[in-house]
Structure 1
Amino acid sequence: MELIAENRSFGGRQLRYSHRSEVLACDMIFAVYLPPQAEQGPVPVLYWLSGLTCTDENFVTKAGAQRYAAEHGIAIVAPDTSPRGEGVADDPDGAYDFGLGAGFYVNATEAPFAANYQMYDYVVSELPALVEAELPLDPKRQAISGHSMGGHGALTIALKNPGRFKSVSAFSPICSPLKCPWGEKALGGYLGDDKEAWREYDATELVARAEERLPMLVDQGEADDFLAEQLKPELLEKVGAAADYPMAIRMQPGYDHSYYFIASFIGEHIAFHAANL
């Protein structure tokens, strides 16, 4: 880990690091907010996964999360959204919804993407091991959250790793990649044509067979341009009811897909995680 930026924020430290990722076979950058309580010892940690086209910086600069993380004494780790660098495969047409900035938090199996696009293993294994070894974080108190593609990532990673997290939340998540254009393109490109493999990265499929009942909070703006075609929270709500999986899915009138929406409710999400951490 090489520290490349540091800023004081609400008594804590907003940090930016670079490192060589063995899992992704490239150099990566990620952000960490350490609250002031971290000066006294290990603190609980919230992993934040961002959406399409984002880097590690969007959430850090736009969400206003540091104030609430400082109040509750929670660290926030925000990775990038895909592998980066020369030689890393991208969408052949340069589209925003596949390739660079659009790793979808899966382990790719299709060439040429399998060489670098192992974002699931990066978020689940490599990055936590790195930051837990170097920073005052308590690995027994972890939560995960995200937005859009990152909301999909947060939900699926939490559901696939029972016992790992104390809570999960999401803003505007892609609830069923099997049933939306973004998901069909990404999962088809990264995983191939076998839709059985896709099911391992679909929150509705995972909720249906989940054994753990993890506290789950989802916020969705009713004025979101992507709501009907891409996000489909009604599918998550339906399968949650059928599986008797308690979850809070809140439809927020007038809010869209932007960081104005996230900034409006991030304090409630951090308080939700704090109550479970």
Structure 2
Amino acid sequence: MAKLEQLSCAKHFGGTLTKYKFKSGVLGNLDAKFNVFLPSSSAHGKVPVLMYLGGLTCTEDNAAQKGGFMRDAAAEGIAIIFPDTSPRGAGIQGEDDHWDFGTGAGWYVDATHPQWIKHYKMFTHVAQELPEVIEAAGLPVDFSRQSVLGHSMGGHGALVLYLTSLLCGSNTYRSCSAFAPVCAPSVAPWGIKAFNGYLSGGVEEGRDKYDATLLIERVRTPVNILIDYGTADEFKHQLNPDLFIDAARKAGFDETQVQVRGQDGYDHSYYFVATFAPEHVKFHARILKA
């Protein structure tokens, strides 16, 4: 099992925010970095955890520094893990040519295209490898009480990880929330580009494995989902929240299970995320600590 190397640590709201790196076998033996916030209550035993997935161009630092999550996580006694958004330094031709594909834009899929398959496996990295490495290192995090949330590309990732776990019967995550997620990537320009690039089967493969709007149609167990998006979001044409809510309602999920809220006048930025971050932390806390 890969060993963690601590890169930094800062006291924060009575707890600690620590950055680590390790050699990721899933990502082709590249260095993988992440931040983890541990509340002070973790000194007395394992605590529930939120897995936060960042958006395009982000690293493990953006939401940790600007998301506004830790005050409420500290009060609720919940850890937060902030992974990176892609492998770094794979040396693949074209990896750094576009801001919405390649470095900083792993899209939380496991690549099947030969050009990308060795390194770009962010789904498995986040869902399996990272929790295994953290548990092996002895950090006081209880992955049996885990939820997932994310922003934009990361909102897409959070929904896909959550719904896939339900479809597989694993129930890895107890709840899911998202800020401005790409809800139907197989019909969004960003998603089409990602699926055609990373997947040998292109959009058709993406539709089957990584489109939340289509995945929720297949779920037959109860769900706990909260989505916020801004009505002034400059990328709203990429998000398609209406398609997701229509699919959820057709699948029989009412507002107690799938809540989608359009927040008047808010955009796509971390100002928007930080405004509603406390509500999202408390949404998950109610479920994680039930």
Q: Same fold (TM over 0.5)?
A: yes
Tell me which residue corresponds to 1:271: 282
Distance in structure 2 (CA, Å) of the matches to 1:41 and 1:108:
37
Distance in structure 2 (CA, Å) of the matches to 1:167 and 1:89:
38
- CA RMSD, Structure 1 to Structure 2 (Å): 1.1
Tell me which residue corresponds to 1:76: 80
Distance in structure 2 (CA, Å) of the matches to 1:53 and 1:85:
14
User: Given that residues 66 and 270 in structure 2 are in contact (C-alpha distance below 8 angstroms), is that contact kept between their aligned partners in structure 1?
Assistant: yes
Distance in structure 2 (CA, Å) of the matches to 1:40 and 1:69:
16
Moved over 2 A (4+): 86-92, 192-196
User: Which of 255, 260, 265 lines up with 1:254 in the alignment?
Assistant: 265
Tell me which residue corresponds to 1:28: 32
TM-fit CA distance, 1:89:
5.0
Gaps (5+ residues) in structure 2? none
The yes-or-no answer on 1:244 pairing with 2:255 is: no
TM-fit CA distance, 1:214:
1.9
User: Which of 151, 154, 160 lines up with 2:158 in the alignment?
Assistant: 154
- AA matched with 2:239: L
Distance in structure 1 (CA, Å) of the matches to 2:93 and 2:258:
37
Tell me which residue corresponds to 2:243: 235
TM-fit CA distance, 1:195:
3.4
Distance in structure 1 (CA, Å) of the matches to 2:228 and 2:284:
14
TM-fit CA distance, 1:211:
2.1
Q: What does 1:18-167 align with in structure 2 at a 5 Å threshold?
A: 18-25=21-28, 26-91=30-95, 94-134=97-137, 135-162=139-166, 163-167=171-175
The yes-or-no answer on 1:218 pairing with 2:227 is: yes
Distance in structure 2 (CA, Å) of the matches to 1:89 and 1:221:
36
TM-fit CA distance, 1:95:
1.1
Q: TM-score, normalised on structure 2? A: 0.93
Query: Quick one: percent identity of the two aligned structures?
Result: 47
User: Given that residues 195 and 202 in structure 2 are in contact (C-alpha distance below 8 angstroms), is that contact kept between their aligned partners in structure 1?
Assistant: no
Distance in structure 1 (CA, Å) of the matches to 2:217 and 2:66:
34
TM-fit CA distance, 1:88:
4.5
Q: Secondary structure at the match of 2:35?
A: strand
User: Given that residues 88 and 116 in structure 1 are in contact (C-alpha distance below 8 angstroms), is that contact kept between their aligned partners in structure 2?
Assistant: no
Gaps (5+ residues) in structure 1? none
> Number of residues paired by the alignment?
275
Distance in structure 2 (CA, Å) of the matches to 1:147 and 1:133:
28
Q: Secondary structure at the match of 1:4?
A: strand
Q: TM-score, normalised on structure 1? A: 0.97
Q: Secondary structure at the match of 1:173?
A: coil
Distance in structure 2 (CA, Å) of the matches to 1:173 and 1:215:
16
Structure 2 vs 1, CA of residues 180 and 69 (structure 1 numbering), >3 Å: closer, same or farther?
same
